Amino acid sequence: MSRERPRPVTAAQHRLEPDFRDLGGLLGGPESPVSPARLVEVASRMVPHAQHAAVTLLREHSRPTTVAATDELPGAVDRLQYETREGPCLEASEGHRVVVSGDLSAEPRWPAFSGRCASELGVHSILSVMLSLSGGDRAALNLYASEVHAYGDDDVAVGAMLAPFVALSVEQSLHRKDVDNLEQALATSRQIGTAVGILMSQYRLSDDQAFALLRKVSQNMNRKLRDVAEEVTYSGELPLRVDADEHR
């Protein structure tokens, strides 16, 4: 049985070998985890014809967002895609592994987006590579250029090689954010629980009645519930005089 010959390494890929070694060391080094912002800077430098780079993220029950960008231009391009609900970055995020457009001024796939992107923002070529994330999260690494037909096989190959590194960075960033949100939610819950306990003792209320009282003060003062709870915890009193008997 004949074995398939390995594809020859192109000159561009050979030139980037030191960069990939440095990238691997960076991700496993003392600076790890590396932020997506750092990775898009690396991508804009390593992909031969990229001038700008960004990462588009789609999370369940949330609008698309640009979580990292080299400068303001990618954000403007992405906002136009989010506004029109079409474009290569969204298409790649939604499961198309590699999406390339070399002339957005004549691109028929995204009629609401393409012409405006070329005429208003001066971006004519986009290369988007899907990032494989866990769960329901979806994302894409996006590379932008002002030249027509800027991206060739070497650009696509390098972009695809970079995608797992960028995906790992985005995954780590999302995990940290989720952990921070969970810790904040737990802290808020404990703060509210402590305040409810104080009100139960002070006004001889049940837990449901004390929580209703706390919520009423929050609404009347137009302040967040956790802020009112924090003040009750530290002062031992409600920041607004109310009739507790209404809640018995």
Determine the Cα–Cα distance for residues 154 and 216; give it in Å rounded to an integer: 62
How many domains is the chain partitioned into structurally? Answer: 2
Q: Do 158 and 186 fall within a single domain? A: no
Q: For position 205, what pLDDT does the model report?
A: 84
Q: For position 6, what pLDDT does the model report?
A: 47
The ranges of the chain with pLDDT < 50 are 1-4, 6
In a domain, 211, yes or no: yes
Q: Do 189 and 148 fall within a single domain? A: no
Q: For position 178, what pLDDT does the model report?
A: 64
In a domain, 1, yes or no: no
Q: Do 154 and 59 fall within a single domain? A: yes
Q: For position 208, what pLDDT does the model report?
A: 86
Q: Which CATH number covers residue 29? A: 3.30.450.40
Q: Do 72 and 45 fall within a single domain? A: yes
Count of C-beta atoms within a 10 Å radius of residue 153: 9
Q: For position 3, what pLDDT does the model report?
A: 47
Report the helix count and the strand count for the chain, using DSSP H and E: 9, 5
Contacts with 68 (C-beta within 8 Å, 6 or more apart), sequence order? 35, 36, 37, 39, 40, 54, 55
Q: Answer yes or no: pTM beyond 0.75.
A: no
Q: For position 219, what pLDDT does the model report?
A: 85
Q: For position 75, what pLDDT does the model report?
A: 95
Q: Do 118 and 78 fall within a single domain? A: yes
Q: Do 24 and 138 fall within a single domain? A: yes
- CA distance from start to end of the chain: 84
β-sheet with 52-58: strand ranges across: 65-69, 52-58, 138-145, 125-131, 98-101
Q: For position 59, what pLDDT does the model report?
A: 86
In which domain, by residue range, is 237 found?
181-247
Determine the Cα–Cα distance for residues 70 and 52; give it in Å rounded to an integer: 6
Contacts with 73 (C-beta within 8 Å, 6 or more apart), sequence order? 52, 121, 123, 144
